[in-house]
């Protein structure tokens, strides 16, 4: 294995992973902050470093349509987008999932307008949480890179056959240069293996895919999608285990940080959790027993696992990087639901943070920990939702 | 967060602050460091003030926030000097490197330093850039000066990455001129 770190942005790490996957088809339209992925990948195509047929489309709606068409014909097909781009491909996003196509899409999380904002939050992917896609969230450029290979294996697994979004935080991860330890091309090739999905469309046995499906069968097909999602967690665990054994890189569906003796934790996803880990180290030096829990998977939501992990603590605060106007922020809401039937429940509180790229800094995380202590000791703010760092 | 060396670059679009920060990160990785290099993105346009950040550490860098209290401030465009609150921003005992033909003593009077204990260095990076490249792209001489002041990164490493990163975009001639500018800056820092 290579032991040489490279200086790569999250976007470059995604493009490098795509290059090593060498997909048959990439159909993609540029949008900030996803653009550096397609820029870098186009370079690989232009230099003949991949065999990919790159389809330069005129919109994201077409990008997803072409990806669906290619995957339907049995190609390993990929794309990438962000925010308004995802919104424009919306209709076909659902079709990709309900047609059970193993597409891997890089999603560079960015706020959805309006007003127009190009910076990070999770409003784009959270909007798509019920589209039937698997969603994996990455903390840093290294995770982005590694998640691509696991995502491909998950998507193409015979018990799954569902599309996967590999999410990374816009600008914070996508445009920040960090140390990334790449794998050798041959190692990647061996790990991802040959595609075992033959496609849906064949000339030998022509038939129609995705036609009208009304009252008589639509509901059965939706139930099958729900059922397919139930297979995902065991498959991911198996693939993560294989990845760890092969490359000595440990990924778990739920990562725990300094939780062994903790009585309270911060729960959150993606780049903010790096900051959280650093602040936890600082607080630990002051004798405060705080830890962190980071779900890498949001769809399917690992409800049973999260309940088992979190029921150990007296108090938890959940950080959501998106809002759900008129309801609970997404991660908070899922965790509440996971606990409803549990006998032992921690105190629980929500903070919405970092909307539109607002910097979630060390002081804010310290504030969260001080709120956690109050929550643990008094339970007063149980079930409340607040905004972090809002004037 | 312990033992992370933090740098904030103050510049304007087009002066190469971002490229400078990335080259610094590249060179630091070769020296077995963990790094970050990232710009603070606003509406991007040539000439607008920008900030670019670097973190350099012996341990993996996990924090994902803007830098508010750097160990080292680089001012690549001296016209910004009066608008920066050095007293508020700079870590105590931190260092400031300014692209100017003036001496630290001369420039100090224009800076908002308050009672801050700061080490100020100047380098005429624009002058060096114009001498070797015929235009004002002061990022590479700034890296030479940074290397001289901090001894954190060898200029040999910077040279190597300058070549790797920019050869296809700019060609050998421009690379050679930048390397001359880098070397010239290494010994021309004023303190």
Minimal Cβ distance to A171: which of B21, B37, B41: B41
Report d(CA A241, CA A246) in Å as an integer: 9
* pLDDT average, residue stretch A347-362: 97
Distance (Å) from the alpha carbon of B131 to chain A's nearest alpha carbon: 31
What is the architecture of the domain spanning A254-387?
3-Layer(aba) Sandwich (3.40)
Confidence (pTM): 0.96
Q: What is the pLDDT of residue A186?
A: 97
Fold of A6-247: Rossmann fold (3.40.50)
Residue B43 binned pLDDT confidence (cut-offs 50, 70, 90): low
The answer to whether domain A6-247 and domain A254-387 are alike in fold is yes
- Which position has the higher pLDDT, B45 or B33? B33
Q: What is the ipTM of this complex?
A: 0.93
Reported confidence tier of residue B48, pLDDT bands at 50, 70, 90: confident
The model's pLDDT over B154-170, given as tens digits with 9 standing for 90+, comes to 889 899 888 888 888 88
Token duo for residue A58: 């005129």
Q: Which residues of B touch A176 (CB under 8 A)?
A: 36-38, 64
Please state the domain extents for chain B.
4-186
Pinpoint the alpha helices (H) of chain A. Answer: 10-21, 35-46, 60-72, 83-88, 90-98, 123-127, 141-156, 185-192, 218-247, 272-285, 303-310, 330-339, 362-378
Q: Average pLDDT for residues B48-56, to the nearest whole number?
A: 93
| pLDDT tens readout for residues A95-131 | 999 999 999 999 999 999 899 999 999 999 999 999 9
Would the pLDDT of A1 be above 60? no
Q: Which residue of A has its CA nearest to B3?
A: A278
| Average pLDDT across chain A, whole number | 96
pLDDT number for residue A126:
98
Please give the pLDDT value at position A198: 87
The answer, yes or no, to whether residue B191 has pLDDT greater than 60, is: yes
Tens-place pLDDT, residues A127-149: 999 999 999 999 999 999 999 99
Query: How far is it, in rounded angstroms, from Cα A261 to Cα A19?
Result: 42
Q: How large is the average pLDDT for residues B122-142?
A: 95
Cα separation, B71 vs B96, in Å, equals 9
Best mutation target among A108, A176, A283, A357 (most B Cβ atoms within 10 Å) is A176
Q: What is the mean pLDDT of chain B?
A: 92
**What pLDDT sits at residue A202?**
85
Quick one: which of B90, B85, B49 has its CA closest to B73?
Answer: B90
> Domain limits of chain A?
6-247, 254-387
Tell me the CA distances in angstroms from A187 to A10, A21, A237, B70, one per residue in order.
21, 11, 20, 40
Categorize the per-residue pLDDT at B42 as very low, low, confident or very high, splitting at 50, 70 and 90. low
With contacts defined as CB-CB under 8 Å, which chain A residues touch B63?
274-275, 278, 362
Q: Which long-range contacts (CB under 8 A, 24 or more apart) does B1-4 make?
A: B1/A278, B1/A279, B1/A281, B1/A282, B1/A362, B1/B63, B2/A281, B3/B57, B3/B58, B3/B59, B4/B55, B4/B56, B4/B57, B4/B61, B4/B63
* CATH superfamily, domain at B4-186: Pyruvate-ferredoxin oxidoreductase, PFOR, domain III (3.40.920.10)
Residue range A225-234: average pLDDT? 97
Percentage of residues of chain A with pLDDT beyond 90: 94
Nearest residue on chain B to A285, alpha-carbon basis: B2
Measured CA angle at A156 (ends A155, A162), to 5 deg: 40
- Tell me what the mean pLDDT of segment A292-301 comes to: 98
- CA dist B74 → A126, A227, B102 (Å): 39, 57, 15
- Measured between CB atoms, does B36 come within 8 Å of chain A? yes
Alpha carbon B142 to chain centroid, angstroms = 5
For residues A268 and A118, what is the distance between their CA atoms, to the nearest angstrom?
A: 22
Residue A222 has a pLDDT of 96
pLDDT digits (tens, 9 = 90+) for B77-113: 999 999 999 999 999 999 999 999 999 999 999 999 9
pLDDT confidence of residue B81: 94
Residue of A nearest to B60 (CA): A179
What's the rounded Cα separation, in Å, for the pair B129 and B151? Answer: 22
- pLDDT tier for residue A2 given thresholds of 50, 70 and 90: low
Nearest CA in chain A to B52: A176
The pLDDT of residue B1 is 63
């Amino acid at each position: 294995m290579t032991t040489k770190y490279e200086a790569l942005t999250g976007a470059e790490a995604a493009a490098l992973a795509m290059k090593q996957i060498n997909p048959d088809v990439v159909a993609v339209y540029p949008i900030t902050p996803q653009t550096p992925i397609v820029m870098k990948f186009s370079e690989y195509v232009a230099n003949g470093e991949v065999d990919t047929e790159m389809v330069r489309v005129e919109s994201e709606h077409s990008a997803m349509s072409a990806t669906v068409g290619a995957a339907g014909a049995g190609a390993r097909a990929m794309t990438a987008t962000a925010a308004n781009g995802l919104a424009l491909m919306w209709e076909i996003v659902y079709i990709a999932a309900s047609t059970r196509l193993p597409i891997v899409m890089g999603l560079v999380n960015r706020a959805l307008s309006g007003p127009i904002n190009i910076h990070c939050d999770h409003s784009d992917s959270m909007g798509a949480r019920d589209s039937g896609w698997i969603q994996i969230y990455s903390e840093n450029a290294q995770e982005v890179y590694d998640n691509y290979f696991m995502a491909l294996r998950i998507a193409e697994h015979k018990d799954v056959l569902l599309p996967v979004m590999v999410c990374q935080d816009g600008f914070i991860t996508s445009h920040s240069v960090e140390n990334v330890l790449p794998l050798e091309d041959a190692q990647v090739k061996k790990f991802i293996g040959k595609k075992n999905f033959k496609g849906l469309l064949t000339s030998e046995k022509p038939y129609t895919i995705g036609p009208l499906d009304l009252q008589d069968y639509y509901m059965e097909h939706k139930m099958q999608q729900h059922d397919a999602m139930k297979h995902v967690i065991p498959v991911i665990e198996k693939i993560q285990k294989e990845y760890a054994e092969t490359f000595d890189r440990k990924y778990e569906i739920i990562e725990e940080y300094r939780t062994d003796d903790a009585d309270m934790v911060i729960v959150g996803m993606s780049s903010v959790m790096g900051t959280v880990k650093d602040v936890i180290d600082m607080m630990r030096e002051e004798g405060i027993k705080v830890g962190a829990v980071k779900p890498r998977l949001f769809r399917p939501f690992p409800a049973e696992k999260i309940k088992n992990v979190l029921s150990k603590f007296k108090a938890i605060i959940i950080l959501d990087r998106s809002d759900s106007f008129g309801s609970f922020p997404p991660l908070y809401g899922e965790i509440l639901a996971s606990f409803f039937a549990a006998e032992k429940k921690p105190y629980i509180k929500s903070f919405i943070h970092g909307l539109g790229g607002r910097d979630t800094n060390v002081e804010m995380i310290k504030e969260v920990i001080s709120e956690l202590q109050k929550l643990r000791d008094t339970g007063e703010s149980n079930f409340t939702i607040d905004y972090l760092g809002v004037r | 967060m312990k033992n992370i060396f933090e740098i904030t670059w103050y510049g304007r679009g087009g002066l190469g602050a971002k490229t400078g920060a990335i080259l610094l990160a590249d060179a630091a990785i070769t020296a077995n460091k963990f790094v970050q290099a990232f710009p603070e993105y606003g509406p991007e346009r040539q000439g607008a003030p920008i900030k670019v950040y670097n973190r350099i550490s012996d341990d993996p860098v996990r924090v994902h926030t803007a830098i508010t209290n750097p160990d080292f401030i680089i001012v690549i465009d001296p016209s910004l000097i009066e608008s920066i609150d050095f007293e508020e921003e700079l870590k105590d005992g931190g260092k400031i490197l300014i692209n100017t033909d003036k001496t630290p003593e001369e420039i100090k009077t224009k800076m908002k330093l308050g009672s801050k204990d700061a080490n100020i260095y100047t380098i005429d990076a624009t002058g060096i850039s114009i001498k070797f490249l015929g235009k004002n792209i002061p990022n590479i001489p700034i890296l030479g000066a940074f290397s001289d002041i901090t001894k954190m990164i060898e200029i040999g490493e910077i040279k190597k990455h300058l070549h790797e990163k920019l050869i296809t975009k700019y060609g050998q001639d421009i690379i050679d001129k930048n390397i001359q500018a880098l070397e010239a800056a290494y010994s021309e820092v004023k303190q």
